Amino acid sequence: MPELPEVETTRAGIEPHVMGQQVRTVIVRQPQLRWPVTDTLAAELPGQTIHGVARRAKYLLFAADTGHVCLHLGMSGRLRIVAAGTPLVAHDHVDIELTNDWVVRYNDARRFGSIFWLTEPPETFSLLARLGPEPLSNDFDGAWLKTQAARRRTAIKAFIMDSQVVVGVGNIYACEALHMAGIHPRRPAQSVSRARYDRLAEAIKTVLARAITVGGTTLRDYIGVDGDTGYFQLSLAAYGREGAPCPRGCGVIRREVIGQRSTFFCPGCQR
C-alpha cells in the first residue's frame, strides 16, 4: 500500500502539471472503487481550474473553483500524468483531462482506492475529520504523543499507527522509527517516558523525511508518477531484515506479529 512518503511523492510530481490548468473533461470508466466515485464529479469538475494539490494523511486534495477532488490510492492505486490520447492499459479507471492536453489518469488493479467530489470544507469530510496531526508538522511532537498515550496499554507500535494519534505512520515507517528511537514495539504506550517520546517523534519525522527525499519505499505495487520506483527500501534498518544483523551490531533482527502486522525489531537495542 502506498504510504505517506509515496503519496507525498505523487503529490509533488502531479502538482506542476495541473496547477492553474482548466479541466476539459472527466471520464469515469469504473465507478465502483472502495466507495463509488461521486456521481456528480464528471458533471461538475469540467470547466473548473485546479489551483493546487494538497495532501492530508494519505489523501490527495485537488483544489478546484467550487470544491475538491479527494483521492486515496488504496492498496495498489497510482496516478500518472499522460498525454491526451495515450492508449489505455488494464485497470485505467478514471481520467481527468486538462486543457493543456495532459491527463491525470487513475489506475487501480484492486479497486481499494476512492475518489470523492467534495463541496464541503475537506476538514469536515467524514474520512478526514477525526485524523490526528501531520507527522512533519509543528503540531506533532513528543508532548503530543505523551498526552495521547495516557492510560493506553496498547503496544506502542499499534499506538503510533493509529491515524487519530498521528497520520501516515504505516507499518514500514513505524518499524524503522521505533528502531531508530530504541523502543521495543511491544512496550505499552503509557509506559514510555516523555524523553523517549521526544526521541520517537524526532525519529518519525526523520524516517518519513528521508523516505520522501528518495521517493518512498517500493515493496510490491507502488510506482511513482514518472514511472520510477522509490529507493528507501535500500536503507531499511529493521523492516524486512529478519535474521540479519542489527546495523548497530547489538543483535539480530527479529520478526513478530503485532496487531496482525509483521513487525521487525532488534531485541538487543530496543527496550
Question: What does the angle CA 205 – CA 208 – CA 214 come to, to the nearest 5 degrees?
Answer: 135
The pLDDT score that the predictor gives to residue 261 is: 93
Buried b (16+ CB within 10 A) or exposed e, 11-33: bebbbebbeebebbebebeeeeb
Among residues 124, 154, 187, the one where a domain terminates is 124
153 shares a domain with 119: no
In this prediction, residue 233 has a pLDDT band, given cuts at 50, 70 and 90, of: low
The domain that holds 156 is classified in CATH as: 1.10.8.50
Provide the CATH number for the domain around residue 119. 3.20.190.10
Q: Is 152 annotated as a binding residue?
A: yes
Q: Which of 80, 97, 124 is the C-terminal boundary of a domain?
A: 124
**pLDDT score for 218:** 46
Rounded CA-CA distance 262/172 in Å is 9
Query: Confidence band (pLDDT; 50, 70, 90) for 102?
Result: very high
For residue range 111-140, what is the model confidence (pLDDT) as tens digits? 999 999 999 999 999 999 999 999 999 999
Q: Are residues 154 and 220 in the same domain?
A: yes
Examine the fold and report which residue of 124, 151, 184 is the final residue of a domain before the chain moves on: 124
Residue 100 shares a structural domain with residue 157: no
Task: Kindly compute the dihedral angle of the four CA atoms of residues 115, 117, 118, 124, in this order, to the nearest 10 degrees.
Answer: -20
Catalytic residue, chosen from 11, 55, 56, 58, is 58
Residues with Cβ < 8 Å from 19, sequence gap 6 or more?
50, 51, 52, 53
Lowest mean pLDDT across 7-11, 82-86, 92-96, 128-132: 7-11
Beta carbons within 8 Å of 108's beta carbon, 6+ residues apart: 33, 73, 74, 76, 77, 78, 91, 93
Q: Look at the chain and report how many structural domains it folds into.
A: 2
Q: Are residues 52 and 152 in the same domain?
A: no
- Residue 110 marked as a ligand binder: yes
Q: Are residues 174 and 249 part of one domain?
A: yes
Query: Which residue in 3, 6, 44, 176 is the catalytic one?
Result: 3
Residue 8 appears among annotated catalytic residues: no
In a domain, 135, yes or no: no
- List the Cα angle 101/83/211 in 5-degree steps: 115
Among 153, 182, 185, smallest CA distance to 169 is for 185
227 and 217 in contact (C-beta within 8 Å)? Answer: no
Is the full-model pTM beyond 0.75?
Answer: yes
Amino acid sitting at position 169: V
Instruction: Indicate whether 136 belongs to any domain.
Output: no
Query: H/E/C letters for each residue in 171-186?
Result: HHHHHHHHHHHCCCCC
Per the domain annotation, does 226 fall within a domain? yes
pLDDT of residue 223: 41
| pLDDT tens track for 152-174 | 999 999 999 999 999 999 999 99
The answer to whether residues 109 and 190 belong to one domain is: no
Q: Is 58 a catalytic residue?
A: yes
**Is 105 annotated among the ligand-binding residues?**
no
Is the CB of residue 117 less than 8 Å from the CB of residue 40? yes
Contact 91, 107 (CB under 8 A): yes
Is 254 considered catalytic here? Answer: no
Domain enclosing residue 253, as ranges = 142-265
- Shared domain check, 88 and 35: yes
Exposed e or buried b for every residue in 152-169, given b needs 16+ CB within 10 A? beebbbbbbbbeebbbbb
pLDDT at 232: 52
**Residue 14 within a domain:** yes
Q: Which of 111, 254, 255, 261 is catalytic?
A: 261
Q: Are residues 100 and 8 part of one domain?
A: yes
| Residue 215: pLDDT band with limits 50, 70, 90 | low
Q: What is the pLDDT of residue 219?
A: 37
Asked, for residue 130, whether it belongs to a domain, the answer is no
**Could you tell me if residue 148 is inside a domain?**
yes
Catalytic site residue 3? yes
Distance CA 173, CA 168 (A): 9
